[in-house]
Copies of this chain bind each other. A is one copy, B any other.
C-alpha cells in the first residue's frame, strides 16, 4: 500500500495519497500579484492585488473581506476547481480531485495530491478512468493555467462526458452575469464592484471585474448559471449532468458559474488533454491578450519554465544533508521558498506592519540581499520625525494604514537593527550606513543617523522605572489593554530594547563609531538592570505591568502564567544571567513544551482578562492565545543557539515542521511544505485538537528559522571580514554535509564528530584561525572540513 505521504525522490514535491486523511492539507503558489491556496480535495482560496486584495472566484455568500483567515472552513459550495467525469453508458459519475462527488476510493483506485514548488497536481483513478489535473501560474500576471488529462485505463472502449467545473460564486450585489462568450472562447462572468461614496467610484472603475474561464478546445455545451447546473440535485449529483447535454444557460443577476462539457469516445489507453485559463480581467480585450499569451501547449510549457526559474531564484543559501531526511527536504526545498515568498510579496498587502515588513525582508538577505537592502531603506524613509517607526510601511501609491496599523504599537524600532544585522552578516555592506535617505516627512538623514534616532526613541519611550511603554500592543498585537492609558509597560519590549541597542552598538563598533557604540551599550545595560529589578519573578521574567500597576505573567497567575518571549529575549538582550537562564530553561521545558512545539504562553486564557486584552479572548490554544505560535518559538530557538543549547534548540526547531511520523502528520493535518503561523496549543485542555495546523503560511517565523539553521545549527555565520564556522549538531547526530552560498562563493562543508574539545575548521587543507574563513573570493568553491566535539 502506498504510504499516506511522501516526498518525491528529489524532494521537491510532497505527495499525499488520501483525500480524507488530512482534508484541509494543501499547497500554495504565488507571484507578486496573486496567491492561491488549494486543498487536496480541490477547494481553493485565491486573491490578487489591484492594488488592494481582490477575488476572482467568490464564495456563494457575500464574504467579509479581512486578512487571510486561519483554519479556513470549507463547505459544499466553497470556491474550488473540479472536474466531473460521467460514464455515458452507465451514468456513473465521479469528480476529480475528490469534491464535490466525494466518491469513495475502491480497490485499484488511486488518489495522489502532489504539491510541487512551482505547480500543484493530482492524479485520480476511478471507474477505470485516470484524471490528471495540474496547474501553475505565470510569473507576472494573474491567471491559473490548468491542464486536465483524461486517460482510459479500463482496458476497454469507453464513452465519457468530461465537465470541468470552476464555480464563480456570488460576484457582487451590484451587478453580475455570466455567459459563454464565443468571441473569447469561454465562460465570462461580469460584475461591478459596489461602491457607496462618489469619491470611491474612481477606485472601482478600472478594477478587473470580469472572471474568465477559457477553453482551448470548444466544448459541446456549458452552464454559466449555478442553479441551472445543480437544479434539484446537489453538487454531489447535479441534475444537469444527469442529462445528455448541459443546457447552455446564461446567468442574469444570478449566481454565476463555469461548467463546460466535452463528450469523448476513448479506446483502451487513449488519452485526451484539455487546457484552460482561469483568472480576472478588465475587459474582453484583456481576456484575448491573456489567451494568446498563455492558452496553448507551447505557452503552458514556456510559462511553466519561466515560473520554475522564478521560484528557483529563491532557492536560498543553504543545502544540508543530515540524518533527518524530512528536515533536509524541508530546508533544501521548502523553507527558502517560504522565506522568498515573504520577502518577494510582503504578504500581498499594501501596508504591511513594519515589524512584518522588516522580518520578511530580513530573510531575503539569504536569498536576494539587494531586496533586503532596499526594504531597510524604504522602512527608514518612513520614519517619523520623533525617530519612532510607523505602524505600517506604505508600499503602493495611494495606500493607507488600515486595520491593525491604525492602532499604536511601540515595538517597531526594535526590528531595524535585527534586520540590519543579518543583512550585514551576509553582505558586509557597511556602505549602506552612509546612504542618505530623504524621509516622507521632509527630513533627510543617513541610514546610520536614522538607526541612531530609532534607538534614541526606544530609550526615550520608557517610564520612570526605565521600562518600555506598550501603548496598545507590542509584537503581540492583541495585547491591547495593558497600556492604552499610556502607563502600562512591556516586559518583552524592555528586554528586546536592550537586544536592539546591543545589536546596534555592535554595528557602530564594526563601523568604527566606538563612542556611539558605547552610548548604546550603556543604554542597554541600564535597560537590562531595570528589567531585572521589575520583571524577574524568581524563576522567569514577567510579561508586563498594566496601566493599573498589575504585574502579569507571574507565578500567581492561573492563566498566562509564563510567556516565552520575555525569556527568549532576556537571553538575546543580555538581561538574563547564567543563573537566571538555567531557571528559565527548566520552567519553559516544564510549562511550555508540548509534543507539537513550545507554546507562546501557558496556561491559555479561558476567559477575557481585561487588563491584558484581546489575546485573552481568542480561543484557548488558538492564534495568539497560548498556541504553538511558531514565531515566538523561533525567537526562542535562535536564543538557545546563542547560548549553545544545541539540543534544546534543535528539538524546538524540528517540532515546527510536521512529521516525520504519520501520526504527527494526521494530527497537524498539514503537508511539510511550509511552517504555519501556529499549531493549536491547549494540549492539556483540548488534546483532540492540539497540534492542528492553522493552514496559514504568512508568518514572521521563517526568517528566524532559516537563520537558526544557517547560523545556528550549521554555524555558518557571516562576520565583517569572513565566514565564522561553528556548527551545533544535536547530540544524536554524528555528521552532516552542508553547501552554503556566501558572498558569491560556495562552501562545501563537511561536519563530523571529533575527539577534541573545540571546533576545528580546515579550509582546503588549511586550519582556519578562530574558526573564521577570511579573504573570501566570489566565484570560488571552498571545501571545509569541520570537527566538532562529541559532547
**1/0 per position for A647-662, CB-CB distance to B under 8 A?**
0000000000000000
Do A175 and B62 touch (CB < 8 A)? no
Contacts known (A76-B75, A404-B196, A407-B196); A232 close to B102, Cβ less than 8 A: yes
B60 touches A63 (CB 8 A): no
Considering the complex, which residues of chain A in the window 88-134 have a beta carbon less than 8 Å from any beta carbon of chain B?
A: 102, 104
With beta carbons under 8 angstroms apart, the residue of B77, B196, B253 that contacts A75 is B77
> A198 — which chain B residues lie within 8 A by C-beta?
407, 472, 480-481, 484, 613
Among B102, B173, B192, B689, the residue within 8 A (CB) of A253 is B689
For window 589-639 of chain A, which residues contact chain B by CB distance below 8 Å?
608, 610, 613-614, 617-619, 622
Contacts of A235 in B (CB 8 A): 76, 234
Q: Is A641 in the interface zone, CB < 8 Å from B?
A: no
Name, among A77, A233, A407, the residue most crowded by chain B CB atoms within 10 Å (CB to CB): A77
CA–CA, A406 to B236, complex, Å?
45
Contact B66 A63 (CB under 8 A): no
CB distance from A659 to the nearest CB of B (A): 23
The answer to whether B76 touches A61, judged by C-beta atoms less than 8 angstroms apart, is no
Q: Which of B64, B73, B407 contacts A197 (CB 8 A)?
A: B407
Interface contact B64-A403, CB-CB below 8 Å = no
Cα–Cα distance between A76 and B100 once the two chains are bound (Å): 12
- Which residues 14-63 in A have Cβ within 8 Å of B in the complex? 20, 59-63
Q: Is A174 an interface residue (CB 8 A)?
A: yes
Q: Does A255 contact B (CB under 8 A)?
A: yes
A733 proximal to B (CB < 8 A): no
Bitwise, A170-201 to B at CB < 8 A (1) or not (0) is 10011111000000000000001001111001
Q: Contacting A170 at CB < 8 Å: which of B65, B73, B480? A: B73
Query: Is A69 engaged at the interface, CB distance under 8 Å to the other chain?
Result: yes
User: Does chain B have a CB within 8 A of A686?
Assistant: yes
Q: A59-B61, A64-B65 are in contact. Are A197 and B406 (CB under 8 A)?
A: yes
| Interchain CB contact under 8 A, A617 and B174 | yes
* In contact, A173 and B472 (Cβ under 8 angstroms): no
| Contact pick for A102, options B20, B201, B234, B481, CB 8 Å | B234
Give A64 to B62 CA distance when docked, in angstroms.
Answer: 6
Q: Closest B-chain residue to A175, C-beta based?
A: B619
Asked if B20 contacts A232 (CB within 8 A), the reply is yes
When distances are taken between beta carbons in the complex, the residues of chain B under 8 Å from A59 are: 61
Using a CB-CB cutoff of 8 Å, which residues 234-259 of chain A contact chain B? Answer: 234-236, 252-255
CB proximity of A621 to chain B, nearest CB, Å: 8
B69, A252: Cβ atoms under 8 Å? no
User: Nearest chain B CB to A105's CB is how many angstroms away?
Assistant: 11
Contact across chains for A481 and B255 when beta carbons are under 8 A apart: no
Q: How many angstroms between the C-alpha atoms of A622 and B252 in the bound complex?
A: 10
A749 to chain B, nearest CB (A): 44
Question: Can you name the residue of chain B whose Cβ is closest to the Cβ of A77?
Answer: B75
Answer whether residue A464 sits at the interface, using C-beta atoms and an 8 A cutoff: no
Contact A255 B73 (CB under 8 A): yes
A557 to chain B: which residues have CB within 8 Å?
Answer: none
**A62 vs B614: C-alpha distance in the bound complex, in angstroms?**
19
Question: Which B residues are in CB contact (< 8 Å) with A63?
Answer: 61-64
| Cα distance, A472 to B618, chains bound together (Å) | 42
User: Is A71 engaged at the interface, CB distance under 8 Å to the other chain?
Assistant: yes
Q: Is A441 an interface residue (CB 8 A)?
A: no
Given contacts A198-B472, A407-B197, A472-B198, contact A617 B62 (CB under 8 A): no
Q: Give the Cβ gap from A106 to chain B, nearest Cβ, in Å.
A: 14
User: How many angstroms between the C-alpha atoms of A689 and B227 in the bound complex?
Assistant: 13
> In chain B, what residue has the closest Cβ to A481?
B198
Q: Which residues of B contact A780 (CB under 8 A)?
A: none
Bitwise interface map of A from 504 to 538 toward B, beta carbon under 8 Å scored 1, else 0: 00000000000000000000000000000000000
The interface residues of chain B lying within 8 Å CB-to-CB of A618 are 174-175, 192
Q: Is the CB of B170 within 8 A of A619?
A: no
Binary flags per residue of A395-422, CB closer than 8 Å to B gives 1, else 0: 0000000011011000000000000000
A76 to B613 alpha-carbon distance, docked (Å): 37
Contact status of A252 and B481, CB under 8 A, knowing A61-B61, A62-B69, A196-B404 = no
A253 touches B71 (CB 8 A): yes
| Residues A62 and B71 in contact, CB atoms below 8 Å apart | no
**Whole-angstrom distance between the alpha carbons of A484 and B201 in the complex?**
12
Please report the C-alpha to C-alpha distance between residue A407 and residue B175 in the assembled complex, in whole angstroms.
21
**A406: chain B residues within 8 A (beta carbon):** 197
For the complex, give the distance between the alpha carbons of A32 and B170 in Å: 31
Closest chain B residue to A195 by CB distance? B614
Q: Would B177 and A619 count as touching, CB distance under 8 A? A: yes
Q: Which residues of B contact A192 (CB under 8 A)?
A: 608, 617-618
Taking CB atoms and an 8 Å cut-off, the chain A residues in 668-689 that contact chain B are 680, 686, 688-689
B619 contacts A176, C-beta separation under 8 Å:
yes
> What residues of chain B lie closer than 8 Å to A65, measured between beta carbons?
64
A290 to B210, CA, bound (A): 49
* Cross-chain contact B253 with A622 (CB below 8 angstroms): yes
Chain B residues in 8 Å Cβ range of A76: 75-77, 234-235
- Decide: A201 and B61 in contact? CB cutoff 8 A: no
Q: Would you give 13 A-B contacts (Cβ < 8 Å), ordered by A?
A: A60-B73, A60-B75, A60-B78, A61-B63, A64-B65, A102-B234, A175-B619, A176-B619, A192-B617, A192-B618, A198-B472, A198-B613, A234-B235
In the complex, besides A174-B617, A201-B614, 6 extra interface pairs with C-beta distance below 8 angstroms are A63-B64, A70-B173, A176-B619, A198-B407, A234-B234, A254-B689
The 7 A-B pairs with the shortest beta carbon distances in the complex, nearest first, are: A76-B76, A75-B77, A253-B619, A60-B75, A175-B619, A64-B64, A59-B61
